[in-house]
Chains A and B, each alone.
Chain A
Amino acid sequence: MTIERKIGTVGAYLALILLSVTMIFPFFWMLLSSFKDATQIFQTAMFPTKPTLDNYVSILFSSNTRFPRWFINSAVVAVCTTASVLFFDSLLGYTLAKFDFPGKKIIFLLVISTLMIPTEMLVIPWYAMARAMKWGNTYWGIMFPGMISAFGVFLMRQFMTTIPNDLLDAARIDGMGELRIFTKIVLPLVSPALATLAIFNFIGNWNAFLWPLIIASRPRMFTLPVGLANFSGEAGSDWHLIMTGATVSMLPLIIIFLIFQKQIVRGIAMTGLKG
């Protein structure tokens, strides 16, 4: 029995290590490829024989590269939508958790049911709307569909219900305004939830593809994923440059991931348990 268990445990470790290799290898291969030049990339040697940083120089600093601009675009879009989502989602979550008013249930259902509407359907009217309003090739055009997230509202509402009512009423008796109560008392109390929401929203917006692909037609307004797709489609067999571009577009996320790994794991676990 114990020997059987030991063999089982060793087997478990072996399987998990093998899987880890599968999960990591593509990133490793991408990184190795990014240090090869145009001839080495087509050679069979796994490691670059003469590692070079030329690809990075070309992607980041050459006169005709657009990657830095795309990087900035992605950062602007991800930061602005995340700020908006944090504010409005917590405001809406707070209102739905802590206020009583006619129509509350209907409004909550209305917000949650928007999660069912597929983006593939919405992009068509969004595009018509953006054209009519002349929002094409603007940051606002890329950002407006993501300014509030229904999932975030759901998440924040769950957290808001844990705030004691007495605390809020005490602040009201002290004469605090409602908006001040929200910003000075409520928001600090739910900061762990805000952090989770912020990280996920940032990642989601940094990686978003379908809508930015549609709305940004000028290369200078591309986000990184759209830029990378476009660049790679045109780069043909310049795989060393494509892999360098992929590395560059992943880097900020990998850094965020390493810094906030605890919140990310907790956040993912939470989405499942809440369901």
Chain B
Amino acid sequence: MTLAKKKAMTAYVFLVIPLIFFVGVRFGPMLYAMARSLTDWSLLRKTNQFIGLDNFKAVLGDEVFITSLGNTLRYAVVGAPIVIVLSLGIALLLNRIVHARGLFRLIYILPYITPIVAVSWVWRWMYQTPPLGILNALFSALGLPAADFLLSPEQALYSIVAVNIWVELGYCTTVFLAGIQTIPMDCIEAARIDGASSRQVLFGIVLPLLMPITLFLMIMQGIQFLRIFTPVYNMSAQAMGGPLDSTKSAALYIYQTAFTQFEMGRAAAASLVLFAIIMAITLLQLRLFDRKSTEGQS
């Protein structure tokens, strides 16, 4: 009895500093941002009045914000599924081969651990128009027309998506490969003996067993792409999310509103809108996958 009490006391002592941290640097600031999104908080003015939902109205009425939300969705809807499908395919290929599996995996992870700022600039250099850009040199060697990449409002967003896919691919491949390797081999052998083709093994056994990992990666990658900031900041001219706002993500809009226009209240409102969208999409994915996996069982 006294030992249990003593242990509980120890626990509380151990918890003091971490709890102060999580309340003071996570929950407190979150609530503060929520409260201040209802005020005309700015670093330029002294006033600090409650203005109700005006910030939300201003933000949702701002064409640039709507554009940035559209771009953000495009980053996620294009980027996340491509990363998932590609990395699953690569993991299946890696599982199939015997030699140099570790070396390949190592090479694929390299972009994931290097600073995104640095790789963004490397890609920006490769994306230059002729005669500077190496990619355009490759295009002309292959007889393809030159591409504008980051300079074109139509291509810039996809050029950035491509870099982010390149960065995340190795991470997802590694997670998938680890998942594939947990699948019991006798399960697959038994199916083979019963005469199942490799296609049937893949769609009937391997993919259903990988469902939880796919869901996890889909949600994490979805969040990653919805929050995209660093590549956009570093790959658009003057970090403006151009050309013509065509690459501006919601995160970059929030950053600009808060730290170049100093409209903190409005930026907080915009960040809450982004938060709500991330939550909604995450929950939607959970719902959809849940239904799919129960259907598969019945």
Contact = CB atoms under 8 A, between A and B. Distances in A.
Contacts of A261: 106
B230 interface: yes
A9 to B, nearest CB: 7
A239 B25 contact: no
A178 B33 CA distance: 38
B221 to A, nearest CB: 11
A273 B178 contact: yes
Interface string A119-155: 1111111111100000000000000110110100100
Nearest to B125: A239
Contact of A13 (B97, B134, B217, B274): B97
A268 B175 contact: yes
A203 B177 CA distance: 22
Interface string B266-288: 01100110110011000000000
B123 interface: yes
Interface in B84-134: 90, 93-94, 96-97, 102, 104-119, 121-123, 125-126, 128, 131-132, 134
A114 B65 CA distance: 26
Nearest to A118: B275
B230 A209 contact: yes
Given A100-B4, A210-B255, A265 B109 contact: yes
B107 A20 contact: yes
Given A120-B227, A210-B229, A44 B118 contact: no
A16 interface: yes
Interface in B230-261: 230, 233-234, 238-239, 250-251, 254-255, 258-259
A104 B19 CA distance: 12
B7 A129 contact: no
B38 interface: no
B166 interface: yes
B123 A126 contact: no
A233 interface: yes
A249 interface: yes
A178 B11 CA distance: 10
B11 A124 contact: no
A101 B11 contact: yes
A111 B33 contact: no
Nearest to B35: A125
Interface residues of A, number: 92
Contacts of B132: 42, 239
B10 A268 contact: no
Most A C-beta atoms less than 10 A away, residue of B28, B94, B113, B258: B113
B17 interface: yes
B21 interface: yes
Interface centre among A15, A118, A254, by most chain B C-beta atoms within 10 angstroms, is A118
A196 B132 CA distance: 41
Interface in A12-42: 12-13, 15-16, 19-20, 22-24, 26-27, 29-30, 33, 42
A101 to B, nearest CB: 4
Contacts of A117: 26-27, 30, 275
A198 interface: no
A94 B119 CA distance: 38
B14 interface: yes
A181 to B, nearest CB: 9
A19 B90 contact: yes
A107 interface: yes
A178 B250 CA distance: 47
Question: Which residue among B4, B118, B251, B278 has the maximum number of chain A CB atoms within 10 Å of its CB?
Answer: B118
Interface stretch (A52-60, A61-69, A224-232): A224-232
Q: Count chain A CB atoms within 10 A of each CB in B14, B36, B117, B216 and give the residue with the most.
A: B117
A124 B268 contact: yes
Contacts of A269: 174-175, 177-178
Given A92-B14, A92-B18, A224 B213 contact: no
- Give the top 4 A-B pairs by smallest Cβ distance, nearest first: A272-B175, A269-B178, A125-B29, A275-B216
13 contacts: A12-B96, A19-B108, A95-B11, A101-B11, A117-B27, A121-B275, A126-B25, A145-B25, A182-B14, A245-B118, A253-B113, A268-B112, A275-B212
Interface of A: 8-9, 12-13, 15-16, 19-20, 22-24, 26-27, 29-30, 33, 42, 44, 46, 88, 91-92, 94-95, 99-102, 104, 107, 110-111, 114, 116-129, 144-145, 147-148, 150, 153, 172, 178, 182, 203, 206-207, 209-210, 213-214, 224-226, 228-229, 232-233, 239, 242-243, 245-247, 249-250, 253-254, 256-257, 261, 264-265, 268-273, 275
Given A30-B118, A120-B250, A150-B22, 12 more contacts: A16-B97, A30-B125, A107-B15, A120-B229, A121-B254, A123-B255, A128-B32, A228-B117, A243-B125, A246-B119, A265-B102, A272-B213
Interface of B: 3-4, 7-8, 10-12, 14-15, 17-19, 21-22, 25-30, 32-33, 36, 90, 93-94, 96-97, 102, 104-119, 121-123, 125-126, 128, 131-132, 134, 137, 166, 169-171, 174-179, 182, 212-213, 216-217, 220, 227, 229-230, 233-234, 238-239, 250-251, 254-255, 258-259, 264, 267-268, 271-272, 274-275, 278-279
